[in-house]
Structures are given as C-alpha cells and as structure tokens.
Structure 1
Amino acid sequence: MGNAIVKTQMEDVKNFLGNTVSVFEDFLNETTVSGLLSEEQGNKDYYKQVLSNIRKLLVYCEEGLDACNIIILGEPFQKGAAEKTLYRIYHQCVEEFFSPKNDTWFENSRSAYTGKNSIRFHEPVPHSVQNLFKGLESDFQHIREELEYYETDYRTKMIQSR
C-alpha cells in the first residue's frame, strides 16, 4: 500500500479511537458497580469483570490513539511503523472489543444474518452497558473491516522476513 493510503487509514483510525476513548471515558466516569446494581440487580462479580474489561479497552484505545498521533505528526511519514501500529490496534482494540481475553462477553457470529447487534453477554447486564456496546459496535465493525488487511499482510511480512 502507498504512503498516502496508509496515512489516510491512520487518520481514520485516529478519529475512530478519539471518539471511542471519549465514549468509554464518559461511561466509566459516570458508572460504578453499585450504580449498575441499582440500575439492575445482577451478579456483582460479573459487573466488576465487565467494567474491568471496559477499562482495559479504554487503555488499549488510548495507547493506540497516542501512537497514531505520533506517527501522523512524524516527518517523514513512517509507513512501516504505521502498518505495525494498525496491526496492533486491530488486535488490542478491535479484537478485544468483540472477544475479550477473559471471555466476559462474546461475538455472536450469526448476528450478521439477523441484522442485530453481535455482542452477547454471558449474564444479564444493565441497559447502560448494552447501550454502550450497541452505540460503539458499528464503528468497531467498520474499523475491523478496514484493518483486516493488516492482519494477513503483517503476518505474511513477518514470516517472509525469517
């Protein structure tokens, strides 16, 4: 891919991450476990896990945003660093959104056929959590489609360089 295309993708991802960070921060600044329990009685430990994963996602997105800003402002534009960063963002942010490591929620792959949201929780969660994910899912889906190229391209480059 040419420098201009990669730089444009970096800009798009930077804007996506900026918005995502803002949404996660707003949610986490206003949300507590006791607040979730008052919204809907449920499993306190599960609510803690959900909030913990959202905090991890926020950190991953902040780190990705910082990396995008550095690369975009750098002269000359470092295409290799940009591609590596986009690959990392794909794994740390996008994949973690759809399938966190500790399996607190998961992606229902059949949702593409039903037109419904794909994030499913293992236990009931309050509407505020459901709405957070519903509000972000289409943007994450779009960025995932944009960055899937780096999943295969970067791995191919790593294997060929051995």
Structure 2
Amino acid sequence: MANAIVMNQTKQVETFLQHTVRAMTNYLNETTLTGLLAEQEDGDKAYYEQLLLNLRRLVVYCEEGLEACRVVLKDEPFRKAAAEKALYRIYHSCIAEFFAPKNDAWYEDSRSAYTGRNSIKFRQTPPPSLKALLSSLERSFQAMREELEFYETDYRTKMMQSK
C-alpha cells in the first residue's frame, strides 16, 4: 500500500516536472535579454540577467528531478526508498528554489498565499512576460510543495534514526 502511494506521488511529480520544464524551456528558448529590456521601458539589465540566471538554474534542477523520477519509475521492482530520496531532493532543489532563488531576485510573501493571490514578489519591476510565466507556474509549485512537505520531515527523521 505504501509503495503504491509513493509510486503515485512520483508519477504526479513526474507529470508536474514535465509541464514545468516544457514551459520554462519554451520561455527561455524564445526570450533574449534585449527582448526583456524592450518589454519594460526602464528595465534594469543587471536585474533581468539575475532573473534569467535563476530561471536557467531552476530549469536545470527540474530536468534533473524529472530524470530521477523517470529512473525510479522505470526500476522493477519499484524501490520505495529510492523514490522517497528523489522526492526529498526534488522538494529541496526545485520547490525551494522556485520560492526562494539563490540570489533573491524574487521571494515568497507567505501571507499572500493565504489570500489566494500570487505569493511571488519581485525585488524590482520584472518584465511582464517573466512575471506571467512565474504566475502561471506558481499554483502547481504550491500544490507540489504541499504534496512533498511530508518527505522533508520523514526523510530527515529516517536519516537521523540511521545514525
């Protein structure tokens, strides 16, 4: 029973990551720094570079997570421990990076999440297309965070018990 739950969550995360990687990759393939600067009259080039850097980092983490899900789901028999470890890493690398990127070009206003509004806030005015992309992805990231929060505490507990 527990294996089926973890397998279903892994499949759900795989689907989420497929969609996320596709959306971010399409955006990055079609977007240039010059194009972003043209969207906003008084855009800050250095800030836009940070935004693109964060997005590139996030797409790499999501691609790695997607590959981990595929490997785990392909294994016969299904290895629950490997799946839990992959989900834990996805939680930390993908979900955490979305809500709190490394260089803080944007951040999460946790109070906004309770009001039903977007919780991603930008340090400066972002290009409208990038803001729209993150807004379109935010709800799925929030849903995945709720699904995977369990692995945060469960995996740590298992690691502490094994020491």
TM range (shorter): over 0.9
Q: Flag structure 1 segments of 5+ consecutive residues without an equivalent.
A: none
1:73-152 correspondence runs (5 A)? 73-152=74-153
| Letter of the structure 2 residue corresponding to residue 114 of structure 1 | T
| Letter of the structure 2 residue corresponding to residue 158 of structure 1 | M
1:108 to partner: Cα distance: 0.4
1:101 to partner: Cα distance: 1.6
1:113 to partner: Cα distance: 3.2
1:15 to partner: Cα distance: 0.1
Q: Paired residue for 1:14?
A: 14
1:133 to partner: Cα distance: 0.7
Distance in 2 separating the partners of 1:12 and 1:143: 9
1:142 to partner: Cα distance: 0.3
1:109 to partner: Cα distance: 0.8
Distance in 2 separating the partners of 1:144 and 1:96: 11
Q: TM-score, normalised by structure 1?
A: 0.98
Distance in 2 separating the partners of 1:21 and 1:133: 12
| Alignment RMSD | 0.9
Per-residue CA deviations over 1:102-147 (Å, capped at 9, x if unaligned) read 1111000110233210000000011101100110000000000000
Moved over 3 A (4+): none
Distance in 1 separating the partners of 2:75 and 2:97: 28
Q: Paired residue for 1:24?
A: 24
Is 1:62 the counterpart of 2:96 in the alignment?
Answer: no
Per-residue CA deviations over 1:5-59 (Å, capped at 9, x if unaligned) read 0000000000000000000001000111110000113110000000000000000
| Letter of the structure 2 residue corresponding to residue 17 of structure 1 | L
Q: Flag structure 2 segments of 5+ consecutive residues without an equivalent.
A: none
